[in-house]
Chain A
């Protein structure tokens, strides 16, 4: 079996047994990167030398008989909005093209301590704003399932790399679907954890109250293994929480017998590709056949989630991105005459159109006279939606829903139509608004052979149940892509 085709369970087993070395694993993935990058374009930065050096360290430690973390020596890719000390962290923006963080994000500290081997930094929509990785300042990423199509976004590079075998796993970030939607488009597994489960320290903020880092992998079990390495309360992130679960792979094979799933009809309303609807409904039947109960339910006011999301996320973004002013780091325009023009020119030239659109939108909804009508209202919607979800979780373990209204669309098709791209987030944003975990996994293919994704939405800290259900579905002929 090719190293780049192994699941994480197989790869970590082979590394632990000494069947392959970490350097061999890194080399195999780097070869794949060299071979496929010209077509896929998943990476912004490839850190080949550092990767081989890190892999060498792991091999040395293993040879010395040191106790190693299960993920030691596993080659991975990191979304380019996660700070990596001394390695350019660009957010796919001209603004941070040359930004070298002076520190590692909390998740990088954890992964580095575990001995994973970073191959490089993944392409994304600029500052994670977009749904096709087309707003990247650097280049477009192509969907490995069909190179003429978008990989989804904003973690498009992370999803494409996993799908193309250019990394054993990647990290993405999910503010309104940015892990789950590209996972669905590329036919991989992506977890958006409960808000607070993974420290945001070192994740360059888009919308602080919505952002979460999570793993993308080729299968469910692998995903649970990676999440194990990421969780834990961090005293540097006041919103991070203690993780109640020790090991997400524990009990993952117990099956779905007795589990109760909800199928909210609002997720299957107009605008949804009928093939996706059919695939998710078929998945529900499959889970029923495996012993789960599936109920059709109602989740009122779901349609308010999308506007509330765009108000809240843009408001927070307008403030979070204000620090990029050309004064301290990153891009600085040359043609300024005073402080005012330094700001204006730097931000005009450093940010792309989509980022500017969100900053303007966010500044508007926070402005005196508009705050109550927009921002405050959106917060009320947020509270209401949390209650709606709570109600369903009173007697269900998880919700089944589509991830996106369409499968991967051709590159360039929606680039000129931002509102259409926003509409594509309709099924993913409610989870962020409510702070819930959701697992995105493949559940079939459409008539073009493109992957269809579904999401399993859980209670707060319900990741283990989602992995269990996802694993059962996957192992029992759930359409593997």
Chain B
């Protein structure tokens, strides 16, 4: 990373709304059906067919806006975005141009660098296009099942300054949409996709550089990789004395590189105009309030609660709440333990890591609570705790029985540990000398030896105390 430059990033996120039917007709939105089995004259753009807006789409979009602190437009409309592409049967996409449903919102993200507010320019509704399938020997086929699936496009302000922030923003946004219940946000099914707009500039400058756009990234990891690659590429271009070209670039997950797709010169003029088939969308104050009243507890509320009630750090609390299923799990476990902070640490360090994205936790909350209690009571040390958890992940079972059977209990027998400590100190002259000459880290080597002798089950606090006594501190 070049320290003289900073990156300026704006993100455009497309989220599929989880309505049962499409945005302008009654066809199902179910994922994974046989090609062209979920379409009708309307979504295939047959001559003479007309769109009729699914009002659930508006409700969901407004909820997404309310959950991201947006202003909701009382008067909005739908526009046609005209361009030719074989996956777009009408040769125009019904979207929103100058009067989006939601605008001027924000959300807060938490990174190692602290808390930051990222602006949301707008959220608008639009229809998805179909899918082109390239079949060897058959050329390109079109699957219209996805035509007319409702989307919201969420456009951020260019407030993001690092890949880490971008990822935190996406995770937070995803959490909010999941909490609000408007989207399943399944990235592997393409129901959440991200376009990255990135430019670089010298640190301290307030002028925006020329940006490039990377489209349709469907994993957070790709977003991070694409940003890192593109930042370095643009910096190299500038340092070589060249100018960055405004263009759309393709990110190749296999190579981790971006490459030019098309430049701005042949960019389309979409000739937006209000769709004459659709009357304007009017949202009354009563309607807005009704939808606001349906917004459930959001990640930030939970975060504040965890910080206050359990004494979690902002980062730890943020980490917990960004995955709703994880936060729900934590709350269930926290209610059953005397040591919720330990439970939080276990969830953040182990449960979140071991639970696949969009999966459920296979360990009963009561079992995690029990582990937290045992840990808090000094009966199970942290490495044994992790080991037990990894077994429970494979096969959930009563942790007490497992611990007894597997002999995972913490060794806190002071006499046994003291005799071990004496031996360790006696046989570690070199380490001791190193330690006494000021290398405080050398002490950990002694602890390590103790853990080895107790097969990892030693009580860490007691071991430290005894070692220090034996060293003579």
Binding site for B on A (CB under 8 A): 82-83, 89, 91, 96, 99, 101-103, 105, 200-205, 207-209, 235-239, 315-316, 318-319, 322-325, 327-329, 339, 343, 363, 366-368, 371, 375
Say whether B315 faces chain A, with CB atoms less than 8 Å apart.
no
Please measure, in the bound complex, the distance between the C-alpha atom of A87 and the C-alpha atom of B419, giving whole angstroms: 98
User: Which residues of B are found within 8 Å of A327, using beta-carbon distances?
Assistant: 86, 89, 142
* Complex A-B: 14 CB contacts under 8 Å: A101-B48, A105-B48, A202-B48, A203-B48, A237-B52, A238-B51, A238-B279, A239-B276, A318-B271, A319-B273, A323-B90, A328-B89, A366-B272, A367-B269
CB distance from A49 to the nearest CB of B (A): 24
Contacts of B80 in A (CB 8 A): 319
A479 CB, min distance to chain B CBs, angstroms: 37
| A316→B79 CA distance, assembly (Å) | 12
Residues 54-98 of B, flagged 1 when their CB comes within 8 A of A and 0 if not, give 000000000000000000000000001010101001111000000
Question: With contacts A208-B276, A238-B52, A327-B142 known, is A363 near B84, CB below 8 A?
Answer: no
Complex Cα gap A446–B89 (Å): 49
| Complex CA distance for A363 and B53, rounded to whole angstroms | 26
Tell me which residues across on chain A come within 8 A of B272, comparing CB atoms.
Answer: 366
B46 at the binding interface (Cβ < 8 Å): yes
The answer to the question of B50 belonging to the interface, with a C-beta cut-off of 8 Å to chain A, is yes
CB closest residue in chain B, given A127: B47
Known contacts: A239-B279, A322-B82. The answer to whether A205 contacts B48 by CB under 8 A is yes
A343 touches B50 (CB 8 A): no
Instruction: Let me know if B297 is at the binding interface, CB within 8 A.
Output: no
A238 interface neighbour in B49, B53, B91, B271, Cβ under 8 Å: B53
Q: B residues within 8 A CB of A201?
A: 48-50
Q: How many angstroms from the CA of A98 to the CA of B52 in the assembled complex?
A: 28
Residue B322 at the A interface, CB < 8 A? Answer: no
CA distance A366 to B275 in the complex (A): 13
Nearest-Cβ distance from residue B277 to partner chain A, whole angstroms: 5
Q: Which of B91, B273, B279 lies in contact with A325, CB distance below 8 A?
A: B91
Given contacts A322-B90, A322-B92, contact A366 B48 (CB under 8 A): no
Known: A91-B47, A204-B48, A236-B50. 11 other contacts (CB 8 A): A102-B41, A201-B48, A201-B50, A202-B48, A207-B276, A237-B277, A238-B52, A238-B279, A316-B273, A323-B90, A327-B86
By a CB distance below 8 angstroms, the chain A residues around B277 are 205, 208, 237-239
Give chain A residues whose Cβ lies under 8 Å from the Cβ of B273.
Answer: 315-316, 319, 366, 371, 375
Nearest B residue to A201 by beta-carbon distance? B50
Residues of B within 8 A of A323 (CB): 45, 47, 89-91
- Closest chain-B Cβ to A209's Cβ sits at a distance in Å of 4
Closest 4 CB pairs of A and B: A322-B91, A209-B276, A366-B271, A208-B276
Query: Does residue B44 face the partner (Cβ distance < 8 Å to A)?
Result: yes
In the bound complex, CA of A97 to CA of B142 (Å): 23
A99-B279 in contact (CB<8A):
no
Does B341 reach chain A (CB closer than 8 Å)? no
Q: Which residues of B contact A203 (CB under 8 A)?
A: 48
On whether the beta carbons of A103 and B46 are closer than 8 Å, the reply is yes
CA–CA, A368 and B97, complex, Å: 13
Q: Shortest distance in angstroms between B271's beta carbon and chain A's nearest beta carbon?
A: 4
The residue from B50, B53, B89, B271 contacting A237, defined by CB atoms under 8 A apart: B50
B50 touches A363 (CB 8 A): no
Chain A neighbourhood of B42, CB < 8 A: 236
Given A208-B277, A238-B279, A366-B273, answer yes or no on A328-B48 (Cβ-Cβ < 8 Å): no
Inter-chain contact B279/A322, CB cutoff 8 Å: no
Among A200, A205, A318, A319, chain B packs the most CB atoms within 10 A around the CB of: A319
Judged by DSSP, the binding face of B is: loop
Q: Which listed residue (A238, A319, A325, A371) contacts B50, Cβ 8 A?
A: A238
Q: Are B279 and A101 in contact (CB under 8 A)?
A: no
Write out the residue numbers on chain A whose beta carbons fall within 8 Å of the beta carbon of B82: 318-319, 322, 366
Per the bound structure, the CA–CA distance linking A235 and B53 in Å amounts to 10
B99 to chain A, nearest CB (A): 14
**Chain A residues near B49 (CB-CB < 8 A):** 103, 201-202
Does B442 have its Cβ within 8 Å of any Cβ on chain A?
no
Sorting the interface of chain B by its residue count into under 10, 10 to 19, 20 to 34 or 35 or more gives 20 to 34
- B333–chain A nearest beta-carbon distance, Å: 49
Q: Which residues of A contact B52 (CB under 8 A)?
A: 235-238
Q: Which of B41, B45, B51, B271 is the one whose CB lies under 8 Å from A363?
A: B271
Interchain CA distance A201-B273 in the complex, whole Å: 21
How long is the Cα–Cα vector from A101 to B44 in the complex, in angstroms? 12
Report B-chain residues with C-beta under 8 Å of the C-beta of A366.
Answer: 82, 271-273
Whether B336 sits at the interface, judged by CB under 8 Å, is no
- CA A286 to CA B49, docked complex, whole Å: 44
| CB-contacts of B266-286 with A (<8 A) | 269, 271-273, 276-279
In the bound complex, residues from chain A placing their C-beta under 8 Å from that of B53 are 238
Chain B residue at minimum C-beta to C-beta distance from A105: B48
**A residues near B89, Cβ cutoff 8 Å:** 323, 327-328
In the complex, what's the smallest C-beta–C-beta distance from A417 to chain B, in angstroms? 28
Q: How far is the CB of B70 from chain A (nearest CB, A)?
A: 25
User: Hey, which chain B residues are within 8 Å of A322, CB to CB?
Assistant: 82, 84, 90-92
Smallest beta-carbon distance B37→chain A, Å? 15
In the complex, the answer to whether A89 meets B47 with C-beta atoms within 8 Å is yes
Q: Which residues of A contact B271 (CB under 8 A)?
A: 318-319, 363, 366-368, 371
Residues on the B chain within 8 Å of A205, using CB = 47-48, 277
Cβ distance B280 to chain A, nearest Cβ, rounded Å: 11
CA distance A236 to B26 in the complex (A): 10
Complex-state Cα separation, A339 to B134, whole angstroms: 14
Q: Max chain A CB contacts within 10 Å: which of B49, B52, B80?
A: B49
Instruction: Give the residues in chain B near A101, CB-CB below 8 Å.
Output: 46-48
**B86:A339 contact, CB within 8 angstroms:** yes
A363 proximity list for chain B (CB < 8 A): 271
| Cα A159 to Cα B42 with chains together (Å) | 31
Cα A315 to Cα B276 in complex, Å, equals 11
- Establish whether residues A325 and B276, one from each chain, have CB atoms under 8 Å apart when the complex forms: no
Binary CB contact string for chain B from 327 to 365 against chain A (1 if under 8 A, 0 otherwise): 000000000000000000000000000000000000000
Determine the distance from Cα of A201 to Cα of B50 in the docked complex, in whole angstroms: 6
A102 vs B48: C-alpha distance when bound (angstroms): 11
In the complex, the chain A residue whose C-beta lies closest to that of B82 is A319
| In the complex, residue of chain B having the shortest beta-carbon distance to the beta carbon of A312 | B276
Q: Nearest CB to that of A240 among chain B residues? A: B50
* Complex: A242 Cα to B128 Cα, angstroms: 31
CB distance from A192 to the nearest CB of B (A): 17
Bound CA span A89–B46, Å: 12
Contact residues in B for A202 (Cβ distance below 8 Å): 48-49
Closest chain A CB from B79 CB (angstroms): 10
A415 to B90 alpha-carbon distance, docked (Å) = 31
> How near does chain A come to B343, taking the closest CB pair, in angstroms?
52
Cβ distance B49 to chain A, nearest Cβ, rounded Å: 7
Q: Are A200 and B44 touching (Cβ within 8 A)?
A: no
A204 touching B47 by the CB < 8 A rule?
A: yes
The residue on B at minimum CB distance from A237 is: B50
Residue from the set B51, B90, B276 with the largest chain A CB neighbour count within 10 Å: B276
Q: How near does chain B come to A320, taking the closest CB pair, in angstroms?
A: 9
From A238, A329, A363, residue with most partner B Cβ within 10 Å: A238
Nearest-Cβ distance from residue A351 to partner chain B, whole angstroms: 14
**What distance in Å separates the Cβ of A374 from its nearest Cβ neighbour in chain B?**
11
A residues within 8 A CB of B44? 328
A367 to B49, CA, bound (A): 26
Assess whether A328 is in contact with B45, with CB atoms less than 8 Å apart: yes
B58 to chain A, nearest CB (A): 13
- Shortest distance in angstroms between A31's beta carbon and chain B's nearest beta carbon? 32
Q: Which residues of A contact B276 (CB under 8 A)?
A: 207-209, 239, 316
* Chain B residue contacts of A325, Cβ below 8 A: 84, 91
Give Cα A2 to B51, complex, Å. Answer: 45
Candidate in B42, B45, B48, B49 with the most chain A CB atoms within 10 angstroms: B48
Expressed in whole angstroms, the Cα–Cα distance for A102 and B91 within the complex equals 20
Docked pose: A450 CA to B405 CA in angstroms: 108
The answer for the CA separation of A315 and B48 in the assembled complex, in Å, is 17
Contacts of B45 in A (CB 8 A): 323, 328
Nearest CB of chain A from residue B298's CB, rounded to whole Å: 33
